[in-house]
Chains A and B, each alone.
Chain A
Amino acid sequence: MSSEPEFSPPDETHLSLGLTDDEFVRIAETLGRHPNHLELAMYSVMWSEHCSYKSSRIHLRRFPTEAPWVLVGPGEGAGVVDVGDGIAAALRIESHNHPSAIEPYQGAATGVGGILRDIFSVGARPIAVMDPLRFGPLEDARARWVAEGVVSGISGYGNSVGVPTVGGETVFDETYADNPLVNVLCLGLMPVERLVLGRAEGVGNLAVLLGSTTGRDGIGGVSVLASAGFSDEESDAEKRPSVQVGDPFEEKRLIEACLELLDRELAIGVQDLGGAGITCATSETAAKGGAGMDVAVDVVPRRQPGMEPFEVMTSESQERMLAIVTPERLDEVLDIARRWEVRATVIGTVTGSGRLRVVDASGDVLADVPAKSLEEDAPLYDRPRSAPADLEERRSDRAASLDAPGDCGPDLLALVGDTRWVWSQYDHMLFLNTVVGPGGDAAVLRLKHPTTGEDTGRGLALTTDGNHLWCAVDPRVGSAMTVAESLLNLAVVGARPVAMVNCMNFGNPEHPEVMWQFSESVDGLSEALRIFGVPCIGGNVSLYNESRGRDIDPTPIVGLLGVVDALDRVPPPVALTEGARLFLVGRTDPVLDGSRWAARRGHRGRGTLPSLDLHAVAGVAGAVRDAVNACLVAGAHDVGSGGLALTLAEMAVNGGVGATVSLIADHGELFSESGGRVLLCVAEQHATSLRSLLESSEVAHQEIGSVGGDRLSVGGLLDVTVAELADASQSWLPDALGAGTTQG
């Protein structure tokens, strides 16, 4: 970068705000002068990793993003697809990892709050939330404290704000010991014609700040917290004031007020205030509308006296929205706000200058920057990438060399784990849509028109999936396997995929190995999406997930939305039914590398993943979907983490009945997590039809056993009672976490 000497930093203020010397010079060049302190603070939040995606943008361009039904792709508040009957679905996923590590209850609560605002900022009513969660091992007291706090926070906020939590995942593993992952996905619905985007158009229009007062909570949250790793407990405790505090009741009123503004066409656009607060909302709406904005910083309602303009402009206080309205409709807007007891203050005016200016009460201009520069001029880094130096050695260290167990029973009992303790604390039934809730492979929701309430007779299916053990072995194939699992989770409930969002949870991007993992993962996800014909409509990147210099295992989380074309009965449950026959669909590669079975023996991040034929996976998904929709299936479950053994065990426990299985050669076939497989439980009278359907679809399949009795028995490998499995599964979390939530 050219650097005129007069643009060099005069002191080290920019460093303490998380900006590099080069970034300072870039700002000075944009302005043609040194930025003042307020301007520097504004750039520091907007150019943070969290807001600017400066390390990842260059890779994210490789995702396939187009399909005829995509209305809004990546880059807006939420991705939006047309799901038919005049209904648009908005989908978004975000992380709140770092705040949740520091202050679990509020970190998770505000994660839910933030994602809801993203959804209603495009005009959609949030109808469902999902929470993929990752915590440290249950044996670790701090991890238990974090897990309990996060679940309490989601329960406390999500239930109260009135959006059901219909699914998610809960995983405990040592890789997340000091750095939990709290990802939140939200689905919203709106009439297609109501789609709105956050744009400030029309000189003279007004920016109305709605919702909470602005306080000192969350100052620099995106730059101090989300864009740096953790070091030790003492300095982490000092970061606690950077975590925001949530108020679900404020959010509930804000949702109702904003949706009423949009219903009555009183707002040109609405924008949520998330990371980077007022700075982000005003500059983004202005830049997208090709306009400028003058912000009257002194009129912003404050939570405490003595706040500096930079604090007001960068605070991440929760439950705030910015609405762009015409002066003629202002009174009506204020009336609606009053009715919902939502604070409303005109804080800005749209100008034609293209500049974001912060002005105080006496008319002095405190900051004056090109609105576009805060977002569009953010640095773009192609950070160094390199595969681990010992990659070849690692890949040749195969789990096949581990000792075979004489009896697979104890291994299976160690893998089962019901998560009911978590999701029974979430309202997962509100809105009367939840046909399949948490505990299923995918949530299935009735699709009702968002304004008329009319039942379309169709459904939406939603799943989130991630597997760090696979991705630690091979981020590319592991990521593709994750999408394959999501696809099958939709297939077993009879749904076809329409859109994907992802949350990329990775370590420190300044480590070349992490950027290699990231790039490989993007390629793996993209390849699977192309073959499955699914567009990526949005995502979130969370970097710097590390503790004490150790990066987490790469953890891309996939959220997949599907459509059930005729939802006239409850899809087959994840359960066995007495007297039925068992079909394993898809081909097994009996490789144990990357499996939970191997990880329990300390073999992790090594070996070579089972072979994956994505075209074959697409074939399996299509055939299973057809079989489910033809009512040939009594029970279904994808084969994923834990392999066939865990799939059988979970279906046995849920059905309260055992099974006798044969034709499984060894523990490799039993515990391999080879992708693209589904176990189907089929009533006797449908077995022939199913077989011919699978044959005509040219999908590999094998009848492996039958259902009955009170034992799960796999010839020569495994023989346990269903009661033992149920007990191990159901006692796991309550034993570790106790009866109740006590935080918050």
Chain B
Amino acid sequence: MPPHVAVVRFPGTNCEFDVVEAVESLGGTAAVVFHDADTLVGADAVVVAGGFAHGDYLRPGAIARFSPVMAAVAEFAAEGGPVIGICNGFQVLTEAGLLPGALQKNAGLKFRCEMVSLRVETTDSALTSAADDGQIVRIPINHFEGNYTCSNETLAELRSEDRVVLRYIDNPNGSVDGIAGVCNAGRNVVGLMPHPERACHELLGSTDGRPLITSILDSGTV
């Protein structure tokens, strides 16, 4: 059985079908799960997709964390299941307390949609197991609020526990320590601002997202 990915969709999410397409192109199966669901039946991994959940009103992710599906996602994560938050999904996971820190407005106060270069800082995570340590990957970003921030204590903890998963080569948004992605202590919950699903097809300018999506599929079959 190929690994099955549940892709969470809130009202306002818009990258859910892109994630499904990327997962299927790499041999997985995927189904979109609406935010009112209270279970994640049959999921080997969960992706909280990008977009503007609940319009990003109040604050990105602030309302989404109360959607019924998030209780199921938290439970799945607590049992060690791989949960990946991409872009808005990262924001949702920090608001839900599944990942430390927060995402604030970009330095420069400008929405940025562009290809960036990232360094894979650890392969010990649900997102990077199939990548190479130190590998440079080109993957697009697409956000207004991608400027990662956290307390000094948290930053020290993330560093000492090797939980910074991805770093920008040229920091595009002012993130502390150039952080593009982090994981939880269990290394099964990962959030990142760049969109690996946008870098899985030869015609789209980069296929560097494939090792990341493949990692998600691999982590779900362990």
Contacts and interface: CB of A to CB of B under 8 A. Distances in A.
Interface of A: 155-156, 159-160, 162, 247-250, 252-253, 256, 339-341, 423-432, 434-435, 446, 453, 567, 569-570, 739-742
Contacts of A340: 11
Contacts of B56: 160, 249
B12 A432 contact: no
Contacts of B36: 339
A155 B52 contact: no
6 contacts: A162-B14, A249-B12, A252-B11, A253-B11, A429-B113, A429-B142
Contact of B52 (A248, A426, A742): A248
A434 B198 CA distance: 10
Contact of B111 (A159, A429, A435): A159
Given A159-B52, A432-B18, 8 more contacts: A160-B52, A425-B111, A427-B111, A429-B113, A430-B142, A431-B18, A432-B197, A741-B109
A160 B55 contact: yes
Given A424-B114, A425-B110, A249 B140 contact: no
B11 A155 contact: no
Interface residues of B, number: 34
Given A249-B12, A252-B12, A430-B18, A741 B111 contact: yes
A446 to B, nearest CB: 6
A742 B106 CA distance: 12
Contacts of B201: 432
A435 B203 contact: yes
A256 B51 CA distance: 14
Nearest to B106: A740
A187 to B, nearest CB: 17
A428 B11 contact: no
From B111, B144, B195, name the one whose CB has the most chain A CB atoms within 10 angstroms: B111
Contacts of A423: 113
B17 to A, nearest CB: 7
B49 to A, nearest CB: 11
B204 A569 contact: no
A425 B205 CA distance: 19
Given A340-B11, A430-B18, A567 B142 contact: no
Contacts of A253: 11-12
B204 A435 contact: yes
Nearest to A421: B110
A432 B204 contact: yes
A245 B18 CA distance: 30
Interface string B163-184: 0000000000000000000000
A489 to B, nearest CB: 19
B110 A740 contact: yes
Nearest to A453: B21
Contacts of B12: 160, 162, 249, 252-253
Contacts of A426: 111, 113
A424 B108 CA distance: 13
B111 to A, nearest CB: 5
A8 B28 CA distance: 73
A160 B144 CA distance: 11
Contact of B55 (A155, A249, A429): A249
A569 B51 contact: no
B112 interface: yes
B212 interface: no
Given A739-B110, A742-B109, A249 B11 contact: yes
Contact of B204 (A424, A434, A453): A434
Interface string B200-222: 11011100000000000000000
Contacts of A453: 17, 21
From A156, A425, A429, A434, name the one whose CB has the most chain B CB atoms within 10 angstroms: A429
Contacts of A741: 109-111
A341 B11 contact: yes
Given A249-B12, A341-B11, A435-B204, A162 B109 contact: no
B54 interface: yes
A48 to B, nearest CB: 32
B22 A432 contact: yes
Contacts, number: 92
A249 B17 contact: no
A162 B51 contact: yes
B66 interface: no
B64 interface: no
A425 B57 contact: no
A425 B172 CA distance: 13
Nearest to A430: B14
A384 B54 CA distance: 52
Interface string B109-133: 1111110000000000000000000
A453 B14 CA distance: 15
Contact of A567 (B11, B114, B203): B203
A59 B32 CA distance: 49
Given A249-B54, A432-B197, A432-B198, A424 B11 contact: no
B140 A429 contact: yes
A150 to B, nearest CB: 14
Contacts of B144: 159
A741 B109 CA distance: 6
B15 interface: yes
A112 to B, nearest CB: 14
B143 to A, nearest CB: 9
B198 A249 contact: no
A182 B11 CA distance: 29
Nearest to A159: B111
Contacts of B11: 249, 252-253, 256, 340-341
B203 A570 contact: yes
Nearest to A446: B203
A145 to B, nearest CB: 16
B204 A739 contact: no
Interface in B117-164: 140, 142, 144
Contacts of A156: 111
A131 to B, nearest CB: 14
Contacts of B142: 159, 427, 429-430
Nearest to B195: A429
A258 B59 CA distance: 27
Contacts of B205: 570
B48 to A, nearest CB: 16
Nearest to A160: B52
Nearest to A742: B109
B116 to A, nearest CB: 11
A428 B195 CA distance: 13
B57 A249 contact: yes
A248 B142 CA distance: 17
B50 to A, nearest CB: 9
B108 A740 contact: yes
Contacts of B195: 429
A143 B181 CA distance: 39
Nearest to B11: A253
B112 A739 contact: no
B108 A739 contact: yes
A341 B57 CA distance: 15
B197 to A, nearest CB: 7
Contacts of A425: 110-113
B113 A428 contact: yes
Contacts of A155: 111
A734 to B, nearest CB: 10
Contacts of A428: 113
A421 to B, nearest CB: 9
Contacts of A567: 203
B142 to A, nearest CB: 5
Nearest to A342: B11
A426 B205 CA distance: 18
Nearest to B113: A427
A341 B35 CA distance: 12
Nearest to A257: B11
A338 to B, nearest CB: 11
Contacts of A159: 52, 111, 113, 142, 144
Contacts of B14: 162, 252, 430
Contacts of A740: 108-110
